A and B are shown apart, each in its own frame.
Chain A
Amino acid sequence: MSKVAGIAVLLAGGLLAATLCFGAPASPSQIPSIFKPESTPADSIFRLSLLVLSITGLIFAVVFSLLVYSVVKYRRRGADDGREPPQVYGSNQVELAWTVIPVLIVLVLFLATARVIHSIQDARKPSGAIEVIAIGHQFWWEFRYPALGVVTANELHVPVSDPADSSPTFITLLSADTDHSFWVPRLAGKTDLIANRVNHTWIDPHETGLYLGQCAQYCGIQHAKMLLRVYVDSREQFDQWVEAERKPAVAGGTAEEGRRIFETTACVNCHAVSGTVANGRFGPDLTHLMSRDTIASGAAPNTPDNLRTWIQDPDSIKPGSLMPAMQLSEKDLDALTAYLETLR
């Protein structure tokens, strides 16, 4: 009896906590909940999950009631005569019933699931689709738009997709090193990025806004800070963004000294700035660094102070990241930060 009470208290506590917490902290749009889908793949999964949850919920209710009933009803009472209960060895009819019913349930679940698998995985690519190549690196994301001539990192921009005139984004997933997984819960389920293998996923977000995700396959020391931001722009905003990203880097202007430092130190071995001698591919493309909200794959906001700290001591933001500490003088650091700030 006390077990039943205990479980009831736990369940009630859980519900209470759930009500308190879903409403309370964090602006709701920042919670990457799989139950708030904003794109067709995530939405089909959400609908399937409702079916699966209701069937499993029903099974739980039935079996749990049977368990509670037998625990309460058939426990040994205080006034027991000490005799053994009737010895029952089994019943073929009952066994048959509780074999056939689960088989039928499994069939229903399988058919519903197979339909969703097919609708997501075998979806046709419409002509208006945006194509993106996402390449996972230890521990950041490279995004290339081959048709649009855009290369960027960590912050994926895609146009909103009007259900009437669909413009989904089809993403080819590659890895430069270890396994990674592309997961933006409100847009689609995860798909891994695996070296020496080509994977695909697609999204068609219905609402503009920022969608958060992160790497979901353990990829090494900084797996935790391989964050992912997807900006869903209106069509006009997206076109403007593409226009800006296609331009080569703004010439150094007031920050010539910083540019000289950038181009004469190890920076250029890993980073590219289009239109300059910097053409490294090992680290993120910095051509339009200042158009991004974050640095270090979402580990810190993109502010001048953070940029400076990142160059001087990356481990203070992201210990174990492959960006080396650059060992520059204070003066050179200031100049270099000033140069990076011109990369709009």
Chain B
Amino acid sequence: MSSETIALTTIGEAERPIGERLHDWVVTVDHKKLGILYIVYALVFLVVGGIEATILRIQLIVPHNHFVSPEVFNRMMTMHGTTMIFFVAMPILFGFGTYLIPLMIGARDMAFPRLNAFSFWMTAFGGLLLYFSFVGGNGLYGAGNAPDVGWWAYAPLTSRAFSVGHSTDFWTLALLVSGVGSIGTAVNFIATILCMRCPGMTLGKMPLLAWLNFVMGGMVILAVSPLTAAQIMLCIDRYLGGHFFDTQAGGSAVLWMHFFWIFGHPEVYVLIIPAFAFLSEIVPVFSRKPIFGYPVMVAATVCIGFVSLSVWAHHMFTVGMNSYANSFFTITTMAVGVPTGIKIFNWLGTMWGGKIQFRTPMLFCVGFLFQFLIAGLTGIMLGASPFNWQLSGSYFVVAHFHYVIVGGILFALFGAFYYWFPKMSGRMYNEVLGKWHFWLFLIGFHMTFDFMHIPGILGMPRRIYTYEPGRGWEIWNLIVTIGVVFQAAGVIVFVFNLLWSLFKGEPAGNDPWDAWTLEWSTTSPPPEYDFATLPVVKSRRPLWDLKHPEDPDWKYE
């Protein structure tokens, strides 16, 4: 393979007028620019969703608080959930995938660059449509009415009898539009990975990140399609006199739940598998060892992909399914813990015997391992359906899935940010600020989400805008809210670090981490065509082979 790259600067980039440069971003079909657009877009929504969460937590800091009205609280909790899942987590992970997959498999772009741009703009317009409801949504309480039906939008609350006006329509249409974008991206990932690999890169020599995003793509197609279909059915119910979910006319509320969760549970894995992908790239590099058990990691991922399609009704243990259905979904839910556990063990196996460097990306990965372990174990508790009858719908569940999404996915994402920031920007981030970010966020995270389990055990349901004093919940809610301050401080340090390093950071060079995958063989940032000559690989770690010609990987694989 070739590690040579032509240092090429776009001619007169700095002199071109700003309008022209912005125009480039709007019409681009380059996977790197689209990846960065996804990421920046999602970061903006991360801050918006974070502000919404902060409003929720301020309202709950003491019982019978009057910081916001119940109407506003319900809108905030709906918008927080919808935003974080559909307009932060998915786009940001798609962004990293879009940016990294072609670079890591030695391709010059995605298989369908125009579809790539189309998918991004669909997702982007979906988010704007959702937020337009804050000014244009006409609802029960007048104009400026964001959706307030919860992010699951359970029927029949979404029927016109209970959700007057158009706020629910904004929710439905936003998800419909962004769902089309998600499916487009998934198709693109799969096609790119199957068809665009560089010479020598068989499926068994692909970086794990590509493998995991491949599985994720398949899951998106299977999971997002039913949700998109359900949104269309809901529109038919609301405007064309359909009765799919209209219980007053013989429709079924439970049918919506099935549609939503056959999307909703695979969705959790759609989000966590790219996080696994980051771990599988970052942990080996900072442990200075290849990933432990590559074939098993691939098999476990595919296994998670399949099993996670059969667990959705564990979100519905309380809807009165019979004991056989409850038993079935108990065993599938617990079974998915096995391949997930294998992954944790393999990352530990990778660290075992290595020389671990605790740079910021690795710190976040260790945080991920610790928190994801706990999240998995509380998941086992929730999977035992009788235990679930107590814990479901309580703050314990809220703590559990925030452990997965914040403690797992977001920590892995922060790790990925610091790891690939030098590649994307060509500059190093500030290591001291990175560590400040890590520790502040870690402390805030644990204050908020460790203690959030307890009110759930003490009987506090989720989605309540206020609560009664004297039930033993006050102190926990207070601690949980204080944790938000630390998390917010951590995020501010992070954003500052990104912006400061973008302009003032040290030049990073092509390969700051002494890493092994193909993206580090090209310049930082990579030229528009990624590689001057397409690389040829012989093993899973092409740059290792190059750096250690006396001891190449391909002799052992």
Contact = CB atoms under 8 A, between A and B. Distances in A.
B356 interface: yes
A70 B351 contact: yes
A49 to B, nearest CB: 5
B85 interface: no
Interface in B489-534: none
B450 A71 contact: no
Contacts of B392: 190, 216
Which one of A27, A44, A85 has the highest number of Cβ atoms from chain B below 10 Å of its Cβ?
A85
Interface string A147-176: 000000000000000000000000001000
Nearest to A63: B373
A118 B385 CA distance: 11
Given A88-B289, A99-B338, A224-B464, A113 B390 contact: no
SS of A interface (majority):
mixed
B331 A90 contact: no
A53 B374 CA distance: 12
A21 B475 contact: yes
A266 interface: no
B463 interface: yes
Q: What is the size category of the interface that chain A forms with chain B?
A: 35 or more
A110 B330 contact: yes
B55 interface: no
A32 B341 CA distance: 34
Interface in B296-341: 296, 318-320, 322-323, 326-327, 330-331, 334-335, 337-338, 341
B146 to A, nearest CB: 14
Interface in A228-256: none
Contact of A117 (B247, B330, B393, B551): B330
Contacts of B326: 117, 121
Contacts of B474: 25
A191 interface: yes
Given A177-B162, A190-B392, A224-B465, A98 B157 contact: no
Contacts of B148: 221
A109 B381 CA distance: 10
B10 interface: no
A45 B254 contact: no
A125 interface: no
A70 B443 contact: no
Contacts of B352: 70, 74
B198 interface: no
B291 to A, nearest CB: 8
B458 A33 contact: yes
A71 B356 contact: yes
B384 A88 contact: no
Contacts of A113: 327, 330, 384-387
B242 interface: no
B25 interface: no
Interface stretch (A127-135, A192-200, A275-283, A284-292): A192-200
Given A60-B374, A217-B393, A224 B467 contact: yes
Contact of A30 (B337, B381, B471): B471
Interface stretch (B66-74, B109-117, B206-214): B66-74
A53 B381 contact: yes
Interface in B518-556: 548, 551, 553, 556
A166 B348 CA distance: 52
A248 B363 CA distance: 70
Which one of A21, A122, A178 has the highest number of Cβ atoms from chain B below 10 Å of its Cβ?
A178
A87 B557 CA distance: 12
A291 B358 CA distance: 66
Contacts of A52: 380-381, 384, 387
B54 interface: no
B186 to A, nearest CB: 29
Contacts of B320: 173, 191-192, 194, 197, 199-200
B156 A177 contact: yes
A189 B390 contact: yes
A319 B525 CA distance: 55
B354 A85 contact: yes
Contacts of B431: none
A195 B253 contact: yes
Contact of B157 (A86, A179, A183, A213): A179
Interface in A16-37: 17-18, 21-22, 25-27, 30-35
Nearest to A122: B323
A6 B370 CA distance: 13
Given A45-B387, A113-B386, A195 B157 contact: no
SS of B interface (majority):
helix
B451 interface: yes
B255 to A, nearest CB: 10
Interface string A68-111: 00110011100010001111111100110011001100100110
Nearest to B322: A121
Nearest to B438: A3
B70 A85 contact: no
A215 interface: yes
A298 B302 CA distance: 50
A322 B335 CA distance: 45
Contacts of B254: 194, 197
Contacts of A53: 381
Given A109-B380, A215-B461, A218-B150, A80 B471 contact: no
Contacts of B288: 84-85
B459 A33 contact: yes
Nearest to A211: B459
A270 B467 CA distance: 27
Which one of A17, A49, A56, A188 has the highest number of Cβ atoms from chain B below 10 Å of its Cβ?
A56
B355 A80 contact: yes
A99 B342 contact: yes
Contacts of A146: none
A189 B318 CA distance: 8
Nearest to A32: B459
B285 to A, nearest CB: 11
Contacts of B71: 221, 319-320
25 contacts: A17-B451, A26-B470, A31-B472, A32-B459, A34-B459, A45-B389, A66-B348, A80-B355, A84-B355, A85-B288, A90-B295, A90-B349, A91-B292, A94-B349, A110-B330, A117-B323, A178-B154, A178-B162, A189-B388, A189-B390, A195-B156, A216-B394, A218-B150, A218-B462, A223-B74
Given A63-B345, A178-B154, 13 more contacts: A6-B442, A27-B470, A49-B387, A60-B373, A84-B548, A85-B288, A90-B295, A90-B296, A181-B393, A212-B459, A216-B393, A225-B466, A320-B70
In the A-B complex, list the 8 residue pairs whose CB atoms are closest, starting with the nearest.
Answer: A189-B389, A32-B459, A224-B464, A195-B247, A199-B320, A90-B293, A31-B472, A196-B247
Interface of A: 3, 6-7, 10, 14, 17-18, 21-22, 25-27, 30-35, 42, 44-45, 48-49, 52-53, 56, 59-60, 63-64, 66-67, 70-71, 74-76, 80, 84-91, 94-95, 98-99, 102-103, 106, 109-110, 113-114, 116-118, 120-122, 138, 173, 177-179, 181, 183, 185, 188-192, 194-197, 199-200, 212-225, 227, 298, 319-320
